[in-house]
Amino acid sequence: MSDKSHWTGDVAELLRVDHGFRLAEVDPAATPGYDGHKKAGEAELTAGAARMDELQERLYAASRSDATHASVLLVLQAMDSAGKGGIVRHVMGSVDPQGIALAAFKKPTPEELAHDFLWRIEKRTPEAGFIGVFDRSHYEDVLIGRVRELAPAEEIERRYGAIVDFEKRLTDAGTRIVKVMLHISHDEQRNRLMARLDRPDKHWKYNPGDVDERLRWPAYMDAYQVAFDRTSTTDAPWHVVPANHKWYARLAVQQLLIRALDDIDPQWPAATFDVETERARLAAS
Amino acid sequence: MSDKSHWTGDVAELLRVDHGFRLAEVDPAATPGYDGHKKAGEAELTAGAARMDELQERLYAASRSDATHASVLLVLQAMDSAGKGGIVRHVMGSVDPQGIALAAFKKPTPEELAHDFLWRIEKRTPEAGFIGVFDRSHYEDVLIGRVRELAPAEEIERRYGAIVDFEKRLTDAGTRIVKVMLHISHDEQRNRLMARLDRPDKHWKYNPGDVDERLRWPAYMDAYQVAFDRTSTTDAPWHVVPANHKWYARLAVQQLLIRALDDIDPQWPAATFDVETERARLAAS
């Protein structure tokens, strides 16, 4: 960390979705627990990258020796343009790609739709030693699924409980689940989508369907609120990260990941061979 | 690129395995085509990272619009400790993780062994728009496979032709295959393995079996030579990258990848919607 950190509070606690949480009361332009500005935040992100890098390597190393079955799973959900890609690039991009398992969930394929909604998710859960990242996730099935009525109401209802049970199994087996909603304002989304229209090299990121979803903004906010109410558990709580300031969102998610890794506290595994014997063998080779 | 590049020759040509190539004649401590030292090389690697980053995003964008089926596949082979991991980390680590598909091939599982040796490989070939990286590959099946006689001699013989046909199919379908052997000297390997023994936080990377393989060094060099003779084709040539200097190996592999991406020359796709219409819809939303 840098000499003077601008963190004034515990970000995991400040952003956690607890009983009584109201999404409507969150200010997407706020920077909870942080009293610095962009420049300080970026410097702190760089310092945090070195810390994450070491923790990730320790986690990977520990898993190779059967010393731990621990893994981390970052679940990213957000409205379009809220910055999921930037998190992957600027937060995950700073650690060794060999320790990251990234899964981007798009519109389900016919094969995926022929199975339970968690079938494709289960296949992409991180193995021990890895940091998994879900760019969208099983929550789509209770977000767009609910807003667009892609399944009967009772099926949507069933899914909340199924998700809680599924995540409980993962956490019991050693996965720390970090669930993040990146929260931007309605106006900020308009600005960001407009900026894509202004740059020909960003046109490929623009999809007219994004505006169709944008027109259902209130329904999405309701769907998020219900998902939070039903699936923010002690073992796998949600965190709502204000994301109008990209630098803050990245820094906050990095802190949440460092916290998860610190909780695991992975140690370098002890040698399973005699070091002096090996030194002699090597020298003679 | 930096103001004055120290490249004095075409690295793709200088390192390519052509007819008459002899591995035994390659100096692992050389820096072919580059007359700078470590510091200049590292600065050039940073400059190259920005170039690779843009090309990778263009490639990904182009593939989203069906404008191209192109992809890149980096195949990394080497003796232990030659620096495969460093390439993944320092060359691939500089581009957006969302555009990279990394596959590390370990000892085959029973399920993999119950299929043809290319079965597990086919499943991990990069989709359009991606840069795939094979950390070890189907070449293990003619390297350790040959040295350790893991398959009958006639089966090993069959595999060279099967590999050439397989790679031809991939290149015909739009994949640029960049095949790299990182080449360190026998002495350099001893130094690097010894360094792992010297540091408790590196013990997990040390495996006594590595010394067993080291004792078969000449047989491995022969197996590499045969693989080069049989599988270095016009469409998918091998490159032998001297790797005693890690900075050179990274820079050279980066150059080979930039060359492959430049060959594809991916363009930002044109908008598939009317920009003004979308601007109006967005403004009204």
pLDDT in tens, A145-167: 999 999 999 999 999 999 999 99
pLDDT in tens, A72-112: 999 999 999 999 999 999 999 989 999 999 999 999 999 99
Sort strands B71-78 and B100-104 into parallel, antiparallel or unpaired: unpaired
Mean pLDDT of B257-278: 95
Q: Which residues of A touch B126 (CB under 8 A)?
A: none
Q: What is the CATH number of domain B11-284?
A: 3.40.50.300
Whether A282 sits inside 8 A of B197 (CB atoms) is: yes
Residue A3: per-residue pLDDT? 57
pLDDT in tens, A10-41: 999 999 999 999 999 999 999 999 999 999 99
Q: Which residues of A touch B269 (CB under 8 A)?
A: 203-204
Nearest to A204 among B268, B281, B285 (CB): B268
pLDDT in tens, A42-76: 999 999 999 999 999 999 999 988 767 899 999 99
pLDDT above 70 covers a percentage of chain A that reads 99
pLDDT in tens, A217-257: 999 999 999 999 999 999 999 999 999 999 999 999 999 99
Residue B238 makes CB contacts below 8 A (sequence gap 6+) with B16, B17, B179, B180, B181, B227, B228, B231, B232
Residue A14: per-residue pLDDT? 97
pLDDT in tens, B218-233: 999 999 999 999 999 9
Give A1's pLDDT tier (boundaries 50, 70, 90): very low
The shortest C-alpha distance from A215 to chain B (Å) reads 7
Is B248 a residue whose pLDDT tops 70?
yes
pLDDT in tens, B145-183: 999 999 999 999 999 999 999 999 999 999 999 999 999
Query: For residue B20, is it left (φ>0), alpha (ψ between -120 and 50) or beta?
Result: left
DSSP letters, A210-273, are HHHHHTTHHHHHHHHHHHHHHH--SSS-EEEEE-SSHHHHHHHHHHHHHHHHHHH---PPPPSS
Whether B197 sits inside 8 A of A65 (CB atoms) is: no
Round the average pLDDT of chain B to a whole number and report it: 95
Q: Which residues of A touch B93 (CB under 8 A)?
A: 93, 96-97
Is A2 a residue whose pLDDT tops 60?
no
Nearest to A268 among B100, B201, B278 (CB): B201
Q: Hey, where are the domains in chain A?
A: 11-284
Residue A65: per-residue pLDDT? 80
Is B67 a residue whose pLDDT tops 90?
no
Is B1 a residue whose pLDDT tops 70?
no
State the Cα–Cα distance between residues A141 and B72, nearest whole angstrom: 33
Higher pLDDT, B4 or A63: A63
Q: For residue B62, what is the nearest residue in chain A, using CA coordinates?
A: A204
Residue B64: per-residue pLDDT? 86
State the Cα–Cα distance between residues B17 and A209, nearest whole angstrom: 49
Residue B188: per-residue pLDDT? 98
Neighbours of A266 (CB within 10 A): 21
DSSP 3-state assignment of A113? helix
User: Is the Cβ of A208 closer than 8 Å to some Cβ of chain B?
Assistant: yes
Residue B219: per-residue pLDDT? 98
Give B195's pLDDT tier (boundaries 50, 70, 90): very high
Residue B31: per-residue pLDDT? 97
Distance of CA A279 to the CA centre of its chain: 43
The residue count of chain A comes to 285
User: Is the Cβ of A124 closer than 8 Å to some Cβ of chain B?
Assistant: no
pLDDT in tens, B107-133: 999 999 999 999 999 999 999 999 999
Whether B97 sits inside 8 A of A100 (CB atoms) is: yes
Give B3's pLDDT tier (boundaries 50, 70, 90): low
Nearest to A282 among B65, B85, B194 (CB): B194
Residue B32: per-residue pLDDT? 97
Nearest to B278 among A65, A85, A197 (CB): A197
* Structure ipTM: 0.91
